[in-house]
Structure 1
Amino acid sequence: MSPRNTEALLQRLTDLTISNRAAAQRLAALPHATLHLRPRPDAWNAVECFAHLNYYSDYYLPEMRRRMATSIHPPQATYTSSWLGNKFAAGMKPGPAMRKVSTPRSANPKNFGMEPTEAALAQFIKYQDETLELLQLAAKVDLTKTKTGISLTRFIKLRLCDTLRTVIYHNWRHVLQAERACQLEGEVAG
């Protein structure tokens, strides 16, 4: 991959995170019944989307914070994604070519042992505030040389630039899914 501008990436990810947080705040104001609507019997409702995102934030936010705190690599004007990291990030990014991704059993809110509540939205909003803080910290380290673990296996490390993109695109993807689930109220009720 070719080098890209670090400042531009961090600004784009900051803007997306602010947008994700604002969407969650709008959804949090909706009635309980709307937040629990399912577009299809097998689809997640909005609350389940946020519970799923919180599951990953529980892992990735502390992991990124720890890796940045211990990084010895000073910030650089550019970053370079790895092939694998770019594939992970591109796979999460919403868009016309977006494909369905299988959720690991452990990350599926239907397997959490209890039904998620609206508290999942409040927790997600807190996690977005923490993500904004992490994006500021990321400006102080090398996004290419600072590596993070991934939740799927301990044998793979991703560059921080790729982890940030993957996590924030993943949030964006499921925030859009939650919004779509809530927009069905008129169709279901009418």
Structure 2
Amino acid sequence: MLSTAFIAQLEAQVQELSATAAQQLRPLSSLQLNAKPTPTSWSVLECLEHLNRYSCFYNPALARALQSAPAAAPHQVGFSWLGRKSYDTVKPENVKPQKTIKYMNPVGSQLTGEVVEEFLQHQTQLLELLAAARTVELNRKAVRVEFFRLLKLRLGEALQFVVAHEQRHVQQALRAAQAAQHLAGPAVLVV
């Protein structure tokens, strides 16, 4: 895919994630935000806190990679084996449960609605990073993999990984919100 179309697609996906969080998750009551569909699943806030923890790693890493990336005209975005495998693991269509690293697991954390606001701030930062990525070389290995820092993803791969990971967990948060709809709080339409 041409880099300009690739970035435009990711920007649209991040804008959709932001709108979903603002319109469907932010209005939920504290009880609904913290409700778990099952004892072993995550609540809405746990899903978003997990993403916030990843954003605290990847947003600065992407910013550093973008600062050092050479300028480039529109080009085809390529994917390595590692990039494809990373994406396939987190893409929303992959329904296979994945284990997370202990320090990225928010279970047992004391979470409030501020988690939603932080998530929205991270989305604004990500949109700024994507805007900066429009004119740079996306096929350069530049972003360390969070859980195994000896490996690096190409800049385009890392951007796609981050957005897909967010899509996956926002969908999970929506399922948790839907399960919590019967709890006290304002009515929220979850689609």
2:115 pairs with 1:117? no
- Of residues 10, 22, 27, the one that matches 1:25 is 22
Counterpart position of 1:102: 99
- Of residues 4, 10, 13, the one that matches 1:7 is 4
Counterpart position of 1:68: 66
Counterpart position of 1:162: 157
- Of residues 135, 151, 175, the one that matches 1:180 is 175
Check conservation: 2:73, 2:136, Cα contact below 8 A: yes
TM-score (norm 1): 0.91
2:45 pairs with 1:47? yes
Aligned amino acid, residue 24 of structure 1: A
The alignment's C-alpha RMSD in Å is 1.5
Aligned amino acid, residue 52 of structure 1: H
Aligned amino acid, residue 70 of structure 2: I
1:39-69, Cα deviation, whole Å (9 max, x unpaired):
1011110001111000000000000001110
Q: Which moved more, 1:141-150 or 1:51-60?
A: 141-150
Deviation of 1:74 after TM superposition, in Å, equals 2.5
Counterpart position of 2:187: none
Aligned amino acid, residue 178 of structure 1: A
Secondary structure, in 3 states, of the residue corresponding to 2:107?
helix
What number of residue pairs does the alignment pair up? Answer: 183
2-structure distance, mates of 1:173, 1:129: 18
Aligned amino acid, residue 96 of structure 2: R
5+ unaligned residues in a row in structure 2: which ranges? 185-191
2-structure distance, mates of 1:130, 1:28: 19
Q: Which moved more, 1:67-76 or 1:4-13?
A: 67-76
2-structure distance, mates of 1:117, 1:37: 12
Deviation of 1:164 after TM superposition, in Å, equals 0.5
Deviation of 1:76 after TM superposition, in Å, equals 3.8
Counterpart position of 1:144: 139
Change (3 A) 1:154 1:185: closer
**Percent sequence identity over matched residues?**
31
Check conservation: 1:39, 1:184, Cα contact below 8 A: yes
- Of residues 122, 130, 134, the one that matches 2:129 is 134
Deviation of 1:186 after TM superposition, in Å, equals 4.3
1-structure distance, mates of 2:99, 2:73: 35
TM-score (norm 2): 0.90
Check conservation: 2:30, 2:112, Cα contact below 8 A: no
2-structure distance, mates of 1:144, 1:186: 44
Check conservation: 2:37, 2:180, Cα contact below 8 A: no
5+ unaligned residues in a row in structure 1: which ranges? none
